[in-house]
Structures are given as C-alpha cells and as structure tokens.
Amino acid sequence: MSVTPTLTEEQWRRLKAPARRERIFRIASYFSPLLLLLLWELSSQFNLIDRRFFPAPSAIAGTAWRMIVSFELFEHIGATLRRVGIGYVMGAVPGIVMGLILGLSRPARRLLGPIFSALYPVPKIAILPLILLIFGVGDASKFVVIAIGVFFLMFYNTMGGVMQTPQIYMDVAKNAGATRLQIFRRIAFPAALPSVFTGLKLAAGSSYIIIAAAEFLGARSGVGFFIWASWQTFAVSRMFVGIVAISAMGYLTILALEALERRFVPWAKH
C-alpha cells in the first residue's frame, strides 16, 4: 500500500546508515569477549600475570577438552542440571501459584504476606546445614534449598505482576461474566506473565549460585563439587573449567528462558 518515493542514492545511504552502524556494532559485540580472552592468553604466556592462579585460556581449553572426551565434565554437568532443574520446578510452581493468590486477594495478602516477608531475607546458604540435617546429604537437600530460593523470587515477581494489572482488565472480565477461577487463569496469569518471566530469569541465576555453594559442602558430584575438589588439589585449570562450565550453564538457561519469553509473551516489547 505504501508508495515508495524516488530517492537519490545519497538519500538511501543516509536513511540506511543508522541500521548499518547498528549491524556493525552487533557483530563487534560478539568479538569483544574474545579480545579479553586474547589479552589474558598473551599476559599469561608472557608471564605478565601469575600462571599458577591464571593459567592461559589455551591451557584451560586443553584441560576442558580432556574432560569432555573422557565424559567426566558431562557427568558433573548432568548432576548439577538435574538438581537445579528439579529444585527450580519445585520452587517455581508453588511460587507462581502463591503469587497469583496473594496478588488477587487482599485478605490473603494481609494474612500471609508478613510470613513471607519475614522468611524471605533468611540467606538460603545459611539454612543449608539445617536442610542437610533434615533431608540428608543426598539430592533431596539440594532440591529443597534451590526450591526455597526460587520460590521467593517467583512469589514476589508474580504477586507484583498481578498487583500491577490494570483494574480495567478485571472489570472487563467481570462484565464478560468471568468466574473467579476464570479471572485467575484468563486475566491475572497472563497479565503477570511478563513479571513471571523476569522472576524465572532471576531465579535461574540464583539457582546456580545456590547449587554451587550447596555442592561445595555436601556432594560427591556436580560442577560445584568439582570446583571445590579442584581447589583442594590445587588443580587450577580444572577449577577454571568448572567455573566456565557453570557460568555457561547459567547463561544458556537464561537464553532459553528468553526464547520462551518471546514465544509466550509476544505482546511485551523486547
């Protein structure tokens, strides 16, 4: 429908220039971390930094490669992913449900809100010994400590999302004859969905923090355990492999969540 007016070459170039600059910067942005790695490699090779603490990236990559072909790395990654995955779901589902309930119901918020406010600031790592005591040193204690951390982030983000829902959406639903359950499912939940995703991303980040610490203390497997064990044997390049592995896991998890967000929250601007 739109009519394209005749523009001169020069005008086309000027119109397209910002987009082209943007593309160049985007390509460059992929390389800037590589530049840092290169700097590290050179400083390490030329002994500008202590090689015992900061082995060259090439040396770390060599260690990583050996661990990949021996499958040792994947065993640890698998153990950690399983704990994070199960604990995450165990925390996220009740967190979202409670967030929706307290977001929608003022009486529930008045009655139960203070309980959550009082429990939230307790550092999750601080109660790990207690959880180990109750649930033992097996995986159950890892699930629980992650679930607790995830629960609060999901709960507060979901509740905030529901409470920010414009009243008019609720009125629309009531006028259309919605039941309370329909308002819950068809209005409160989708309205809170952008906040739910913010919560999911925050919770993913903190899950990896919690699992690393939890595996330091009481585990025979997992990336956290592996980092700790490497420290104890002063295997610094192995330690770096563990750090990179767990960071990459966190990063990929958040990328996956962002992809899901684009899929399920298409109305929010990204």
The rounded distance, in Å, linking the Cα atoms of 219 and 203 is 22
Closest CB to another protein among residues 22, 171: 171
Q: Rounded to an integer, what distance in angstroms lies between the CA atom of residue 261 and that of residue 76?
A: 28
CB of 177 to another protein, least distance (A): 6
Q: Which of the ranges 15-23, 78-86, 181-189, 239-247 carries the binding residues for another protein, by CB under 8 A? A: 181-189
DSSP 30-64: HHHHHHHHHHHHHHHHTTSS-TTTS--HHHHHHHH
Question: Site mask, another protein, residues 190-229, x = CB under 8 A?
Answer: xx-x------------------------------------
Q: Is the CB of 92 or the CB of 173 nearer to another protein?
A: 173
Q: Sign of the CA dihedral 233, 127, 141, 258?
A: negative
Rounded least distance, CB 247 to another protein, Å:
34
Q: Which is nearer to another protein, 162 or 223 (CB)?
A: 162
Name the amino acid, one letter, at 162. Answer: V
Minimum separation from the CB atom of position 122 to another protein (A): 33
Stretch that binds another protein, among 124-132, 144-152, 180-188, 195-203 (CB under 8 A): 180-188
- x/- mask, another protein, residues 149-178, rule CB under 8 A, reads -------------------xx-xxxxxxxx
Rg over CA atoms, the chain: 24
Indicate the DSSP class of residue 142: H
Counting residues that bind another protein (by CB under 8 A) gives 21
- In whole angstroms, give the CA distance from residue 127 to residue 124: 5
Q: Is 242 exposed, middle or buried (0-12, 13-18, 19+ CB in 10 A)?
A: buried
Nearest to 128 by CA among 227, 200, 216: 216
Comparing CB distances to another protein, the nearer of 26 and 269 is: 269
Q: Output 11 or 179, the one with its CB closest to another protein.
A: 179
Region of residue 235 (left: phi > 0; alpha: psi -120 to 50; beta: else): beta
Closer CB to another protein, 52 or 270, in the complex: 270
Nearer of residues 167 and 232 to another protein, judged by Cβ: 167
Taking the complex as a whole, the smallest distance from the CB of residue 26 to another protein amounts, in Å, to 25
Q: Which residues contact another protein by CB under 8 A?
A: 168-169, 171-179, 182, 186-187, 190-191, 193, 265-267, 269
